[in-house]
Amino acid sequence: MIVQAIRSAVFYALYFLHTMPLAIVMGLMAKIAPQLKPIGRGIAQYWGDSNLFFLRWVVGIRTVVTGQENIPQEGCIIGAKHQSDWDIFAILPYVDEPAFIAKKELLDIPFFGWCARWINTVPVDRKKGKEAMPLMLEHARGSVAQGHKVIIFPEGTRRAPLDVPAYRSGIVKLYMALNVPVVPVALTSGLYWGRNSPVLWPGTARAKFLEPIPPGLPAEEFQRTLIDRIETETNKMILEDARKGLARPISPRLGARLAEVEAELAAAGKTA
C-alpha cells in the first residue's frame, strides 16, 4: 500500500508538471498562430500518449483498447462511460478530429481553455439554463459537419465502478439533433484509478468501442439501447477483471455490487 501510494504520488507529479507547460505552449499557439492547429492536435495526442506511458511504467496500469473497427470514418457521436482521466487518454489515439464536450468553466481557464477551444472542444454553459442546450447543439452540429467526432460522457461526470447508472439527457438531444451514428464505449478504468482515490492500482484498464447505434431511432428507444449496451458490456468487463484478481482492496460496497451485478447479468442471460 505504501509503495503504491508513493508510485501514485510520482505519477501525479509527472502528470501535472508536464500538463502545465504543454497547456501554456498550446494556449499561446492558439492565440498567436491558430493556423497551426494540426500541430496543436499533435501536442494533444502526445499529452495523452505520455500519460499512458507514465501510468504503465510508474504505476503499473496497462492499457488495452478494442473495437476500433466500430468507429465510422465520417462524423459521429462517441458516448463513453467515464470513470477516470484515463478514459480521455485511451480514446484520443483512435479518434481523428475529436471534439470533446466539456463544461464552459473549464474553457475559461487561461491557457488550458484557449487550447481546448482551439482543438474543437464543444462548450456547455450551464449558467445559461435553457439556452445552454441549443448553443451546445449548434457547436456540435458545426463540428460534425466538418467531419469531427463529438465525444461525450453521457453521465456528465466520473462514476465509480458498478455505480447505479445516472445518464443525462444531453446525448439523447445530440442524437436527435445531429442524425449521426452513436458509438458506445465500455471501460474498466475506475478499478485502477478511482474517482476519489489518491492511490492508483496496477492492472490492465480496458476500453471497448461497441457496435454503433444507427440514427433514426425514437428518443426513448435510443436511450434504452445506449444504456443497455454500455452498462452490460462495462459490467461484464469489470466482472472478468475481478475474477482474474485485482491488486486493489475490494471494499464491502464493491464486493456486494459485484455479487449483485453478476446475479443480474445471469438472470438476464448476459453472463460474463
Tens of pLDDT, residue by residue over 29-82, are 988 988 888 888 899 999 999 999 999 999 999 999 999 999 999 999 999 999
pLDDT band at 252 (very low <50, low <70, confident <90, very high): very high
With 0-12 / 13-18 / 19 or more C-beta atoms within 10 angstroms meaning exposed / middle / buried, residue 113 is buried
Contact 168, 132 (CB under 8 A): no
Contact 200, 192 (CB under 8 A): yes
**What are 135-181's pLDDT values in tens digits?**
889 889 999 998 899 999 999 899 999 999 999 999 999 999 999 99
The pTM score is: 0.94
- 3-state SS, residue 205: strand
Provide the CATH number for the domain formed by 2-267 in this structure.
3.40.1130
Helix H or strand E segment including 30: helix 2-32
The pLDDT score that the predictor gives to residue 234 is 98
Average pLDDT over the chain, rounded to whole? Answer: 92
